[in-house]
Amino acid sequence: MQGTSIELTELSYWYEDVEEPALRGVSLTIPAGQFTAVIGPGGSGKSTLCQLLSGYLPRSGGGRREGKVRLDTIDPAEAPIAEIAKVAGIVFQDPDAQLVRGVVEDEAAFGPENLRVPPAEIDSRVAEALAAVNLTARRRSPVRELSGGQRQRTAIAAVLSLSPRMIVFDDASASLDPAAQAQFVQLCRRLHAEGRTVVTVSGRFDDAARAAERVIVLDGGAVLLDGAPQELLRTSRDRLAQLGVLPPWEGAAEAGGPAGSRREVPEAGEHAAEPAAGPLQSAGMLTAPAQMPPGADGPGGDSGSGPLLEVRNLSYTYPGGQEALRDVSFAMHPGAWGMLTGENGSGKTTLTRLLMGLLPVPSRSVYWKGRDVSGMPVHQLAGDIGYVFQQPEHQFVEHTVWDELVYGLRIRSGWRRRQAELTPEQTEAAEALLAAAGLSGRRQDSPYLLSQGEKKLLSVIGQLIQPKALYILDEPTSGIDYRAAQRLLKLCRGAAARGAALLMITHDPRLVEEDASFVLRLDQGKVEDYRQLGRNHGLIHVRS
Amino acid sequence: MILSYQGGGSPLHRIDPLSKLVVLLCIAVLTMRLHTSAGQALLLLAASFMARTAGGVSWRKQWKAMAFLIGFAVPYFILTLLTVPGSHTIWQFGMLHVTTEGADAAGSVTLRMFTVFLSSFVYMVTTDPGDLVTALTRRMRVPYRFAFGISMALTFLPLLQEEGRSISAAHQVRGAARPKGVKQRLGWWKVFVSAMLHNAVRRIQQTAGAMEAKGFGAYPERTFLREQQPSAAGHITAVGAVLITAALWWYIHIVNL
Amino acid sequence: METLSQSKRRVVPFTTLDIVLMAMLATANAVLTFYLSYINKMLNSLGGPVATSTIVGVYMVYGLLAYYIIRKPGTAAITYGIGGAIQCFVGNTYGIAASIVAALCYLVVAEAVFFLLRYKRWNAGAMMLVGGAMVPIWFICAANMFGYTSWSFQVLAITMVVRIVSGIVLCGLLTKVLGDMLQRSGLLKRFAIGRKASADAGNFH
Ligand SMILES: Nc1ncnc2c1ncn2[C@@H]1O[C@H](COP(=O)(O)OP(=O)(O)OP(=O)(O)O)[C@@H](O)[C@H]1O
Ligand SMILES: Nc1ncnc2c1ncn2[C@@H]1O[C@H](COP(=O)(O)OP(=O)(O)OP(=O)(O)O)[C@@H](O)[C@H]1O
Ligand SMILES: [Mg+2]
Ligand SMILES: [Mg+2]
């Protein structure tokens, strides 16, 4: 086994047509067989680093690279493809951008096939890789019929089957459910024990980082800290908390302080953005459906007015025959804050897509303000309900960040009446939101050129900018650092303070549960748990 | 739906795609060789019978597939009926002549359409696209990177449809209503097509990058996880089809079908 | 296919990106063919095969567009090859045999003409020439396959002319227009067409 696995010397990188480098003078040596975690806030250059390691940058992605990169003995920008594929396997951040074959099993077989592995061995590698991510049952499924988390698992399996000496996971556990995240850490440990070089990348000081031998903290494209995880936690806890990579229950991520990210903006705008998120809703606005549908063990209590949203015995089966939901019932009142949890593939996204009318809703199962939404056009519901997709790209409709943000404001009626000019208040609110998301400097950029976390933030503020009665957010906090998550939650609290209801899908219940008024947990399409949460009374244990 | 492959265990499912393609081409050649309606009708019957027995395609499914073609076939039939020159008039109305020759030709070209369509349909239903790619690289020695284009294209097919749906959903979720009137529709199409193009080009770049990251193109050849073994039955069928076609070619000349 | 490209003066290898682009264009064509068959049906009942001939050019655009963008010898061979092959799995009213034969006719002509042009001319005239030239051979094959041969000579001649015009305008000219539009949007920076004209490329985003 060679001595070093990754060696970077004064590595800088500039994206095409961008003046500021995304990486500036990074020098690192990672010995073979080490288990390293690279962490850093959103936009700090983690994914850029991964793409440089894979050779995708600058080979296919363009841009300018300076400095030296060595993987084992090769330079990924110049080495033949076969060499790179044998040395390094890289799981990229966005599963949709790396799945190429369309069927789970073919996806996992693709790499070894290219490397001329004999069929019998491919077969066993595929079986092993799929088992490692718990996807064996979906072996023949088309990728487009998988849930977000299942796609991410597929992407992991597709690289595992390559059996590379060095493996890099770029935020590969962001959309996994808590059990799968634990399993992912086990997987990293096992790969490490096999003698492979393992690098995990994430915006948070997560369990993988705690399990690693070494943690490298990136900020603004440069290495900020480098050391053993326990040591860093002991000596630099404040720094880490300031960056927002520590969870609020450990390091007061709210501490704020001088901004870490280079595109940080003055905090001033942030306050203008939100009406003071004062005491949460008055008791009268709280949850509790008027009539509980039979069979649902819902939160008790009663309030006079009818529910905003009511779901009665909703079942849904996809055209291919995959049953996604069965007999789901719950209700939401104005000002309620629901937390929707459950394993990958348990039907959370399906449920919210149905609520939004993005899938054909069976009649007499979903009621919006007492009206059956079945057959109601989406744009009509959109007047009342804001919806944030799990994949932010699915939401983008414009060519610049600014246009993307104010798109909804410009629409008055009909198809894109562009004439609607923004009022000064609207412009101000938009500026403030942009600042709160840390995107002020990016308004003329294409939304597609943002980092994954920045995309997510943009997609959320694009909805929050419009006053709605209900916001549905599909995993708004996945893949972003804790500070960004806190800001986002603050914006949500602002919306809640205005009286809006929120339904939030999440795999990070601990981040949200203090604000949530009820939790709905799905298990294989059925309601497993549905109960009211006490406000601000500390942590509630949610099974993981 | 556009893609119609359905797994199954019928004899046709088990024959390799290239041998099946030979049979398909033989049928096409025969449709060109036969000139009379009677001959074409016999061929169609034979093809339909084969689809039922060897391909396991039920009569109902065959009928449903062919019904798609009727809108095409009827106008074509009438047109040929009225335009093909002939001497034995059987019906006349002003300028319009219907002759026996015309009727025969019209029947022949129309039935031919059905035969060609049905045989193609059966091929689609019984052939796994992946097998064709393997067969092309293994037996026709087509470089795999090019043959793989076929399987990429088939992967893109549902993706493009999904993409279209997703673009329209994005606008609606943001509050844009369905366009009304010509001007709005044109505006909508402009935005839609431009989004499709951008997404397609982005998808191309991402896919190419991801494929290379997994070693695509590393070596001049590659292995395949699932590989349909060329069966003796396939070869026999293909050779048999060619021989029968050759014999019929000659026979048709004698009996003048 | 490789031999085709090797026989040319300079062998420029195809990148994965090129191949994926060709696959995408072939896919777009398959989708287009599927939906065009409804328009075709309408035209067919209005004016029979002469009327349907007006749009034949559109079916050939994908390969020519690929050539216009990639500009490497052998592009048409691979693109039409992929396009013909996926017609085996995507329904159309003409059947598989016709689709394959059509693709073969197109690819032979396109490769031959671009060879004669030495891969140097990419102006509207050249594109229209190729668009028109791809028509006749396939028309002769089609006439035999679909039984057009029983029509009178005049009808055949008119159909042929209509098709050639369609090839020149709806294939050649349309390809040029589409290609230039894409190139202006800056989407094709990584292909030959983008590099050639990168000087005047407007900035995208
Ligand atoms: N293709 C691109 N063109 C221009 N700028 C880009 C491009 N991709 C990323 N950037 C910018 O480069 C910076 C670093 O991005 P990168 O994706 O590496 O961040 P990251 O650390 O992975 O963030 P996240 O945790 O959100 O994924 C960001 O400011 C991002 O907006
Ligand atoms: N378009 C589709 N066609 C068929 N089945 C689908 C489709 N989309 C999702 N499914 C299936 O429906 C089930 C529920 O999927 P859904 O996306 O709702 O899960 P989820 O709870 O959001 O999971 P995740 O946490 O991974 O996002 C899964 O088993 C999935 O495979
Ligand atoms: Mg990233
Ligand atoms: Mg989901």
pLDDT of residue A416: 60
Q: What percent of chain B has pLDDT over 90?
A: 41
User: Is the pLDDT assigned to residue A415 strictly greater than 80?
Assistant: no
Task: Calculate the dihedral angle through the C-alpha atoms of A229, A232, A233, A239, rounding to the nearest 10 degrees.
Answer: -140
Domain that includes residue C170, residue range: 14-204
A47: Cβ below 6 Å to ligand 1?
Answer: yes
d(CA C182, CA A1): 49
Whether A169 is covered by a domain: the verdict is no
If you average pLDDT over residues B86-113, what whole number do you get? 84
Residues 142-171, chain A, touching B (beta carbon < 8 A): 142, 144, 158-159, 162
Show which subunits contact B, needing at least 3 CB pairs below 8 angstroms. Answer: A, C
Domain that includes residue A487, residue range: 277-541
Distance from the CA of A397 to the center of ligand 2, in angstroms? 24
pLDDT of residue C35: 83
Given an 8 Å threshold on Cβ–Cβ distance, is B84 in contact with C150?
yes
Whether A50 is covered by a domain: the verdict is no
Q: Mean pLDDT in chain B?
A: 88
pLDDT of residue A294: 38
* Residues in contact with C71: Cβ distance below 8 Å, sequence separation at least 6, in sequence order: C119, C122, C191, C192, C193, C196
pLDDT of residue B138: 86
pLDDT band for position A419 (cuts 50, 70, 90): low
pLDDT band for position B96 (cuts 50, 70, 90): confident
Whether A430 is covered by a domain: the verdict is yes
pLDDT of residue C196: 62
A169: closest CA among A208, A132, A138? Answer: A208
Q: How does pLDDT run across C68-125, given as a tens digit for each residue?
A: 999 999 999 999 999 999 988 887 888 899 999 999 999 999 999 999 999 989 999 9
More confident residue, A441 or A293: A441
A30: closest CA among A52, A5, A1, A2? Answer: A5
If you average pLDDT over residues B17-34, what whole number do you get? 92
pLDDT band for position C192 (cuts 50, 70, 90): confident
Q: What percent of chain A has pLDDT over 70?
A: 86
Residues of B within 8 A of C27 (CB-CB) are 153-154, 156-157, 160
Asked whether the beta carbons of C164 and C172 are under 8 A apart, the reply is no
DSSP notation for A353-396: HHHTTSSPPPTTSEEETTEE-TT--HHHHHTTEEEE-SSGGGG-
pTM of this structure: 0.88
Number of domains in chain A: 1
The residue of chain A nearest to residue B159, with distances taken between CA atoms, is: A144
Distance from the CA of A143 to the center of ligand 2, in angstroms? 10
More confident residue, A283 or A459: A459
pLDDT band for position B70 (cuts 50, 70, 90): confident
Q: Which region holds residue A45: left if phi is over 0, alpha if psi is between -120 and 50, else beta?
A: left
**Closest residue to B129, CB basis, from C23, C89, C91:** C89
Number of domains in chain C: 1
If you average pLDDT over residues C14-37, what whole number do you get? 91
Residues 4-23, chain A, touching C (beta carbon < 8 A): 17
Any idea which ligand is nearest the CA of A16?
Answer: 1
Q: How does pLDDT run across C147-158, given as a tens digit for each residue?
A: 888 778 888 899
Q: How does pLDDT run across A102-112, given as a tens digit for each residue?
A: 899 999 999 99
CATH at C56 = 1.10.1760
pLDDT band for position A300 (cuts 50, 70, 90): very low
Q: Could you check whether the bond before residue C13 is cis, i.e. omega within 30 degrees of 0?
A: no
Whether C6 is covered by a domain: the verdict is no
Whether C7 is covered by a domain: the verdict is no
**Closest residue to C17, CB basis, from B75, B76, B204:** B204
Given an 8 Å threshold on Cβ–Cβ distance, is C205 in contact with A445?
yes
Q: How does pLDDT run across A495-512, given as a tens digit for each residue?
A: 999 999 999 999 999 999
Q: What angle do CA A15, A19, A20 make, to 5 degrees?
A: 80
More confident residue, A413 or B82: B82
If you average pLDDT over residues A335-344, what whole number do you get? 94
Q: What percent of chain A has pLDDT over 90?
A: 71
Extents of the domains making up chain B: 1-139+228-257, 142-225
Q: CB of C49 within 8 Å of any CB in chain B? A: yes
pLDDT of residue B2: 66
Q: How does pLDDT run across A21-61, given as a tens digit for each residue?
A: 999 999 999 999 999 999 999 999 999 999 999 999 888 88
d(CA A338, CA A530): 10
d(CA A515, CA A406): 27
CATH at A409 = 3.40.50.300
pLDDT of residue C193: 84
User: Is the complex ipTM higher than 0.90?
Assistant: no
pLDDT band for position A535 (cuts 50, 70, 90): low
Whether A513 is covered by a domain: the verdict is yes
More confident residue, C195 or B164: B164
Q: How does pLDDT run across A79-104, given as a tens digit for each residue?
A: 998 889 889 999 999 998 898 988 99
d(CA A539, CA A248): 12
pLDDT of residue B190: 87
